[in-house]
Structure 1
Amino acid sequence: MLICGVDEAGRGPLVGSVFAAAVVLPSDHTIIGLADSKKISEKRRNELAEQIMSQSIAWSVAFATADEIDQLNILQATMLAMSRAISLLAIRPDEILIDGNRTPVIDIPCRAIIKGDATEQCISAASILAKVNRDAEAYALNLRYPEYGFDQHKGYGTALHLKALKEFGPIPEHRVSFAPVRAAFAQRRLFE
């Protein structure tokens, strides 16, 4: 039976896409240290991501853009990213295990597991791939907009990010439906 783990990364940031990964691991994989991606150092996540991609039966990563987040809402955009990741798999799994309490609407049996990224290795693997790809987007944004410090806060609403948002205004990749970004747009319009 082919079990696929699915998890997301990037629901909370004020900027960029929400990412989801789907991973089908073989039962005899030799990957040591799979866990919730937030509990692993960035260096170790990157090492594990290489092992996951090389040892998986199948894996994929997909995303929903900031525009899609604004149109749908963050929950529905996350479900969309998960559905996309599942549909991109090279094989069709028999069952999908999803981290959290909701599942996307798809034609494969799904089970939501709260804190599944800490208890199911296939979900942990998906968590790591989603986070590594989400961080890569933050680094790419940092190259284009270094004044925002995306390499430091990855787009989360830290004091540094909020200060830059106030000073420089939103960029096209900001999520307008998120309150701090909406406020920055409103402030900009006041001074135009």
Structure 2
Amino acid sequence: MDTEKCLITRRSIFPEQFTDKEVAKGDIEHILAMANWAPTHKRTEPWRFKVATGRAKEDLAEFFVSLYKENTPTEEQSDTKIEKTRSKVDKSAAVIAICMQRDPKERLPEWEEVSAVAMAVQNMWLMVTALGLGGYWSSPGTIDQMHRFFDLAEGEKCLGFFYLGHHAEEHKTGRRDPIENKVEWL
């Protein structure tokens, strides 16, 4: 797939659209290797990834459910929400935690490192699209609790999750307002 087609067909593919087909470990490694080529100021390379498959994925689903139950009053809890929380992990071939390791010397503003991680995720998303896979980035409201599941290093934090899987959707061009509405020539 050429670069332009990859850019305009990249879109969120959600776990309910995934098939049962596994994603090869080699494909996941390739996707992450391409993430590693994102731009990074002062070469801090702040992106970190934690890949959950198999049993780890099941444990992650249960952790998400437990957080939902902990953070939702009993009378407001919904079996549908619990099942949806579990299902999006179960239906994914892999769930990749998107983390950021802050430069210990804080040589640059944190937003630049968050941006570098976002660019790494964009590289992942483009590679996923090029491979004919699907995925999406989600950041749950309980993102600040991920240290309870993952062994995060000092200065490392979780910024969200990339859900990955095969799908049967056709590549469609996304929708955007015209660029002319967003550019001011000086």
Which protein, 1 or 2, shows the higher relative CO under an 8 Å CA cutoff with sep ≥ 6? 2
Query: What TM-score do you get using the length of structure 2 for normalisation?
Result: 0.28
